[in-house]
Structure 1
């Protein structure tokens, strides 16, 4: 089936997936960190203090994901997204009106749980469950919603901050979240694969059976893969979280830096579509060990060069990793462990991913406070990323080689 026919025949569910991933944006680091300057001024915080408070809220959301993520195996996506977007709206309002620094981690917790955590989790689990032979294409297309938000929201918000109070933008985000409830409930009135049918059409994992979460965590393969699951969110999050600092250190304006984001997103989209095709042809297991290498290259470029062109090239290498990983990882967990319990297993990997996204801002912020700029830190991170790639290669060869 050609990609156009695939989209035409599945437009309702693919569009729903895209709306779900776009709706995660208000809880994603790239969006929240646009307001870093305003938040630090409002609450009188240093880079390290803001990063630590962000890490507290994010870590709490990651730990909650261990339990909450399993709900994707028990409830329909239509029900879950309704609850999550209503909660998202409440926390967006809280971000706009909160005046207490002590409540700031609670607000971050809610935004991160509903956005990066659960909403994205449900979107990806739905694609993995609804599609088997064309899972790669489905995941790649659904992820376009997030990519569109990542490309254009920073530019729009930076422009709006100069015109209206930053709190008004969060109120608008709350209204949009409520609007997405209406749209998604209409799109998901009929889900592609009803649960009664899905029980007989589940794809098995390694060894030819369906792995439960308890079985997965008792096997050494899972723990060998955890560093790989955490690395992209740790370091990509750090880049977006420290975008204001990065621009200042490099001698760029914030507007110049965020103007590069559409190119980053375009590359990520193209790469995700290419990897979606590659998954359907060769499978995700063969691809996984090599995905982090472009991220390491991008960090080396950021560490060594200061021109805006070098910043663009560094972002493009990061985008290659992001586009590939966002598509391959979803199919990978389903291919390794099967789809019957993929919601609860992926919830655990998503929890580690979210915790990784807490570590990045906290670690980089503390090092900035003691005198090491983010670019100064990046060579060390690049070495660590390549070590994780080697560990992932070993795990795949040891346990998944056919």
Structure 2
């Protein structure tokens, strides 16, 4: 396998193969993503008769617990490497999908939610997000945005695919299909093509030099010198400010996605239309490789984050007061998706740029807690608002206020200095 990778590298820098595999990892994280699970929610409601608040509460608690535990996955990535952990995680996600085909009560649904979120939404995004930066520095934003196309394709296609499977074959068989696809379709590819870092193949990042023993050693020493440990990272205000900022897209996206079909019914949009519209949130990511070069690589990250947060506030107001049919729903989802896409790449570039790449798994694992907790806190307030008021505008106003606060925090971040942290 290593020999095959070296042969590939002679013709094309192997980092681009890593980008492809990371894109596939994002795609196959789908069973644990809200845009996929949300399609099963109506089937659960019809089969078991549980209230929106009960299902949302179970989902939120399961997501919160998985978020608190994801830091251990980050530490395992640093210890064992992305390759080994990705193999284990994909196998576990396959087993989880199979388990979900047997759920018969709220307890089993909760357990299913937890493992879907931990191995799918948490681990299957943490691993590629910590893998691509190992292979790129000068083209980091471009490479990360390319790998994100895997998530784009999944978000565009999986909700409709799940809806079709559930409609024609039932939710039980839909989960079993996912189990087989993960085990047979993705695990072998990971075994064959994933490697942790260029130094493992005896090459330098982006093939900038010939890759002699001295150059490989110098590359590893440079990585050590530039890298913050998790303990050092959490002592910076940037870690906490950026963490709070990262809760916004996960909280809002998860909240509206989880309740999207019911939300759209209130706005004169059919379930068939909703199944297609919901996937369009990721469509703007298709243009991110171009935007990454024009914006993210040229301007300070804090300004990019500030602008995207303001755009999200506009999106929330748009959803609350302007969406009334399929056309306006499409306009909203594309506008919001554009802001999320730009912010997502900016955040993924910020972590390795600010804190280095040696301990990126641990740092991203700890930072992922913010995003997963955001996801956990998303569905519940939307569900409560609907059960109390019959709508969602109250929670949207609260989200707008919280997003405004994080926009102010974005203007206060700057690249941390490691020597200053070490003197505390």
Taking structure 1 as the reference length, the TM-score comes to 0.90
1:182 matches 2:188: yes
Report if aligned partners of 2:23, 2:146 keep a CA contact under 8 Å in 1. Answer: yes
* Residue 359 of structure 1, CA deviation: 0.3
**Structure 2: where are the runs of 5+ without partners?**
1-10, 205-215, 419-424
- Given candidates 320, 326, 341, the residue that maps to 1:303 is 320
CA contact (8 A) 2:302 2:410 kept: no
1:244 to 261, 266, 288: 261
Q: Output the CA distance in 2 between the equivalents of 1:8 and 1:40.
A: 50
Q: Which residue of 1 aligns with 2:292?
A: 275
Of 257, 274, 279 in structure 1, the residue corresponding to residue 274 of structure 2 is: 257
The count of residues paired between Structure 1 and Structure 2 equals 393
CA contact (8 A) 1:129 1:202 kept: no
Rounded Cα–Cα distance in structure 1 between residues aligned with 2:236 and 2:328? 42
Residues 1:95 and 2:112 are matched in the alignment: no
Does structure 1 conserve the Cα–Cα contact (< 8 Å) formed by 2:82 and 2:127? yes
Preserved contact between residue 130 and residue 193 of structure 1 (Cα < 8 Å): no
Matches within 5 A, 1:3-402: 9=13, 10-178=15-183, 179-188=185-194, 192-194=198-200, 200-201=218-219, 209-271=226-288, 273-275=290-292, 277-282=294-299, 284-305=301-322, 306-396=324-414
Q: In the superposition, relative to structure 1, how do residues 317 and 154 fare at CA in structure 2: closer, same or farther (>3 Å)?
A: same
d(CA) in 1 for partners of 2:124, 2:71: 14
Instruction: Tell which deviates more after alignment, 141-150 or 304-313.
Output: 304-313
Counterpart residue number, 1:3: none
**1:258: Cα distance to partner?**
2.4
Inter-CA distance 285–361: structure 2 relative to 1 (3 Å threshold)? same
Query: Post-superposition shift, 1:232?
Result: 1.0
- Separation of aligned partners in 1, 2:340 and 2:302: 17
Specify whether residues 355 and 272 from structure 1 end up closer, same or farther in structure 2 by C-alpha distance, changes over 3 A only: farther
The answer (yes or no) to whether the contact 1:264–1:316 under 8 Å persists in 2 is: yes
CA distance in 2, matches of 1:170, 1:277: 41
SS at structure 1 position matched to 2:228: coil
Long gaps (5+) in structure 1:
1-6
Secondary structure (helix, strand or coil) at the match of 2:219 reads coil
- 1:130 Cα deviation after fit: 1.4
CA shift in 2, pair 1:192/1:39, >3 Å:
farther
Structure 2 residue matching 1:340: 3-state secondary structure: coil
Larger Rg: 2
2: CA distance, partners of 1:101 / 1:325: 35
Give the drift of 1:295.
1.6
User: In 2, Cα distance between the equivalents of 1:217 and 1:11?
Assistant: 31
Counterpart of 1:97 in 2: which secondary structure? coil
Residue 73 of structure 1 contacts residue 341 of structure 1 at CA under 8 Å; is this kept in 2?
yes
Are 1:78 and 1:184, in contact at CA under 8 Å, matched by a contact in 2?
yes
Deviations 1:263-316 (A, max 9, x none): 432223214541355333446454233222222111111111212222111111
d(CA) in 2 for partners of 1:398, 1:66? 22
- Give the Cα–Cα distance (whole angstroms) in 2 for the partners of residues 204 and 224 of structure 1: 27
Alpha-carbon distance in structure 1 between the residues aligned to 2:140 and 2:196: 19
CA shift, 1:30, in A, is 0.6
* Distance verdict in 2 for CA 1:134–1:397, change over 3 Å: closer
375-384 or 248-257, which deviates more: 375-384
Per the normalisation by structure 2, the TM-score is 0.86
Alignment RMSD (CA, Å): 2.6
Work out whether residues 96 and 112 of structure 2, in 8 Å CA contact, stay in contact via their aligned partners in 1.
yes
